Amino acid sequence: MFDLVLGTNNAKKLIELRLLLPTDRINLTSLAEIDGSIDVDETGTTFSENAALKATEQAKHLSRWVLAEDSGLTVDALRGEPGVYSARYAGEHGDDDANNQKLLKELDGVPPEKRGAKFNCYLCLSDPQGNVRLEANAACAGRIRTGLSGTAGFGYDPMFEIREYHKTFAELDLTVKRAISHRSRALRMFIPKLLRLVRMESSQ
């Protein structure tokens, strides 16, 4: 069994990742379950930089393998904002309602055809010495609605519409969301690489 720390305290992300990772080979633990974890400052200017910071700094501190993720929303009409500031767009980290309301205000008057957006996910795996060993990223395209709809999900999910389904992430069936989400797509690229690394490490 390969012991892996997920570099987040976000319980919903932990659940989502546990559903996708092979639990017979990967034992996934979140930072919320570990005493002595640290808060890593997300000082990077890109999702990739922040994912690497969160993985390597936490890994060195805990002396454990750490998988970190940085994800967020980029909106075409706002030149890529909120981007790396997605979780703290309105100022306070994790205030979903305030973030959503700010985004709606920023896009007030922007027509539907110009409200294109993407959810982005960047994954980074660090070994216990703080070396980046694996990376993967993916995106899911959609558009921002003029209001919120749906009760599932978190963050910007209630206003992020998948055009093909005419539903927001917060309205989609969970099975569908898992199939098309940015995080799921990134993990589908990442997991085969991880399993090859696990086999390599276990053979040493």
**8 marked as part of a ligand binding site:** yes
**70 marked as part of a ligand binding site:** yes
Q: What's residue 129's pLDDT?
A: 97
**177 marked as part of a ligand binding site:** yes
Q: Is 174 exposed, middle or buried (0-12, 13-18, 19+ CB in 10 A)?
A: exposed
Q: What's residue 202's pLDDT?
A: 79
Q: Give the separation between CA 178 and CA 68, rounded to whole angstroms.
A: 19
**93 marked as part of a ligand binding site:** no
Q: What's residue 123's pLDDT?
A: 96
Q: Which of 3, 24, 35, 70 is catalytic?
A: 70
Prior bond to 128 cis, omega within 30? no
Q: What's residue 145's pLDDT?
A: 97
**157 marked as part of a ligand binding site:** yes
Q: How many residues does the chain have?
A: 204
Q: Give the separation between CA 147 and CA 138, rounded to whole angstroms.
A: 26
2-202: CATH topology: Maf protein (3.90.950)
Please enumerate in sequence order all residues whose Cβ is within 8 A of that of 24, keeping only pairs 6 or more positions apart, or say none.
none
Domain residue spans of the chain: 2-202
Q: Give the separation between CA 6 and CA 54, rounded to whole angstroms.
A: 10
Q: What's residue 25's pLDDT?
A: 86
**166 marked as part of a ligand binding site:** no
| pTM, full prediction | 0.91
Between the CA of residue 30 and those of 7, 12, 33, 67, 151, what are the distances in Å? 6, 11, 5, 10, 25
Per-residue tens of pLDDT for the chain, all 204 residues: 889 999 887 777 777 778 778 888 888 898 988 888 999 989 999 999 999 999 999 999 999 999 999 999 999 999 999 999 999 999 888 899 999 999 999 999 999 999 999 999 999 999 999 999 999 999 999 999 999 999 988 899 999 999 999 999 999 998 898 889 998 899 999 999 999 998 888 777
**13 marked as part of a ligand binding site:** yes
Structure-block tokens of residue 62: 């805990």
Q: Look at residue 155 and give its three-state secondary structure.
A: coil
Q: Is 70 a catalytic residue?
A: yes
